[in-house]
Amino acid sequence: MKYSAKLPNENHNVSGEHPLKEFVILVCGTCVLALGLYWILGKSVDVLVDNMPPIAEQLIHQQVNEYVSDEFQLQGEKNQLPSNIKALMNGLEQCAGLDYPVSLHWQQDKQVNAFALPGGHIMLLSGLVEQLNSENGLAFVIAHELAHFDNRDHLRAMGRGVVMVALSTLIGLDNAKVFDFLSPVSQLETAQFSQQRESRADELALSIVNCHYGHVGGVTEFFTLMQNKENHSTSKVGSYWSSHPPSQIRISSIEKLVVQQAYEIKEVKAL
């Protein structure tokens, strides 16, 4: 009788499931696990940052300041900060009451923007100043970036970066690959986190401007400008995934805060 090889009826070492199905289950399970860890560790970062003593924040600020200064070549810039904006920054910084100094940097760029860098640096683009008409409108933009430092948002962002690196090590992927792996699903949580921080920064910026001028006239000028530049066809779903709330929502929120806090609105100062 000729021998014919065949697999046993039962084999615990061989799965009866289709390999593609097993692969999908493995990938989905790993993704859910990684995202769960990302969410838990992200919340842990918030708790740690909120309870961090000022001296620890100052030490981190000093270390990061050196790196950012070298990386972005902020020392010895060719473009000098206009004297009126420098004076404005000094006044707003006093009202913010931060535990460490913040430097305002001026850069020639057509973009209408300003942004904060870790280590106590605010980059002000010339395109923003050219588009705004009032000093008050510019003051709110600068105050908003100061508020991010006061709320320790830069530390939260750095902490989440550390979490991402830790997850990449856990999963066994390099940083770029793990970002690509998690980004499509984690973007929603990150966007909503960012929108919440932006709204809180707007609220604090309002009080800083009121401290400096004694009123909050002109604080929505930047958002009115941006609203005119935004794509009005953007859907509500797209706005939900954005890192910043839509300009109209920010304007409405600020106007409500003005009423709630009984802030005065007076004549603005030309820029």
pLDDT band for position 8 (50/70/90)? low
pLDDT band for position 58 (50/70/90)? confident
Residue whose pair of structure tokens reads 């993704």 in the numeric block: 31
168 vs 49, higher pLDDT:
49
Exposure of 35 by Cβ count < 10 A (0-12 exposed, 13-18 middle, 19+ buried)? middle
Contacts for 125 with CB less than 8 Å, ≥ 6 apart: 107, 108, 109, 110, 111, 112, 113, 114
Per-residue b or e along 83-111, where b marks 16 or more CB atoms closer than 10 Å to that residue's CB: eebeebbeebbebbebeeebbbbbbeeee
**What predicted TM-score, i.e. pTM, was given to this entire model?**
0.77
Q: What is the largest CA-CA distance in the chain?
A: 105
Q: What is the DSSP string of 42-109?
A: HHHHHHHHHT--HHHHHHHHHHHHHHHHHHTT-TT-SSPPPHHHHHHHHHHHHHHT-SS--EEEEE--
Q: What is the DSSP string of 220-245?
A: THHHHHHHHHS-TT--HHHHHHSSS-
Q: Are 96 and 143 in contact (CB under 8 A)?
A: yes
Kindly report which listed range (34-38, 112-116, 145-149, 223-227) carries the lowest average pLDDT score. Answer: 34-38
Q: What is the pLDDT of residues 10-50, one digit of tens each?
A: 656 656 666 777 778 877 777 777 778 777 888 888 888 88
- β-pairing, 103-107 vs 114-117, is unpaired
Q: What is the pLDDT of residues 68-105, one digit of tens each?
A: 777 666 655 555 778 889 999 999 999 999 988 898 98
Mean pLDDT of the chain: 80
